[in-house]
């Protein structure tokens, strides 16, 4: 004779299965809630995390060509070209051509930028002078302190 089974009791295996399913459902619900719905707080509430702001030391051999009028350098990490114009000012624009992403050069004689790949020309302010490029280069603000041999590029 088999013992009578109460319909309200379950065996250990069934109990563990139900616990596992319940736990999984709770974890899934928490994951879905955290992935959607609320915003992740901005670590920089002022919005300056992606802003360009750096200073070049013209005493460094990497940047000393900027001491001379007509000299220029491409700052690779930021993809910015900085030029010392013949009128003794500094200009800075994105160094990546907006046509097909080639690195541009500065032409001191005409105070503009040239893409060596397809000959797009950009004015000193980054605007398109001659295509095939149709979009301007991003222009950056520049301040210089020639007493301390530094040039700051910023947005």
Which structure tokens are listed for 78? 């930021």
Residue 20 lies in a domain: no
pLDDT digits (tens, 9 = 90+) for 94-148: 999 999 999 999 999 999 999 999 999 999 999 999 999 999 999 999 999 989 9
Residue 2 lies in a domain: no
Residue 8 lies in a domain: no
Residue 75, SS3? strand
Mean pLDDT of the chain: 84
Beta strand pairing status for 139-145 and 150-154?
antiparallel
Residue 72: give the domain boundaries. 53-154
If pLDDT is split at 50, 70 and 90, which confidence band does 39 have?
A: very low
**Cα 154 to chain center, whole Å?**
14
d(CA 120, CA 126) in angstroms, rounded, equals: 11
Q: Is the pLDDT of residue 63 over 60?
A: yes
Count the domains in the chain. 1
pLDDT of residue 56: 95
Residue 97 lies in a domain: yes
Residue 132 lies in a domain: yes
Q: How far apart are the first and last CA of the chain?
A: 87
Residue 25 lies in a domain: no
Residue 40 lies in a domain: no
- Give this prediction's pTM: 0.68
Residue 16 lies in a domain: no
Residue in this structure with the two tokens 């590029």, named with its chain if needed? 153
CATH code, domain carrying 74: 2.102.10.10
Mean pLDDT score, 72-93: 95
């Amino acid at each position: 004779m088999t013992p009578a089974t109460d319909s309200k009791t379950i065996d250990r295996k069934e109990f563990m299965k139900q616990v596992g399913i319940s736990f999984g459902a709770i974890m899934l619900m928490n994951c879905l809630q955290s992935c959607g719905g609320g915003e992740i707080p901005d670590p920089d509430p002022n919005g300056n995390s992606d802003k360009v702001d750096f200073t070049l030391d013209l005493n460094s051999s990497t940047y000393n060509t900027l001491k001379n009028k007509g000299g220029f350098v491409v700052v690779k990490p930021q993809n910015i070209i900085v030029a010392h114009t013949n009128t003794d000012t500094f200009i800075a624009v994105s160094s990546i051509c907006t046509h097909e992403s080639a690195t541009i050069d500065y032409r001191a004689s005409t105070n503009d930028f040239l893409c060596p790949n397809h000959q797009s020309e950009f004015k000193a302010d980054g605007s398109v002078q001659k295509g095939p490029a149709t979009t301007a280069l991003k222009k950056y603000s520049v301040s210089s302190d020639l007493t301390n041999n530094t040039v700051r590029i910023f947005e």
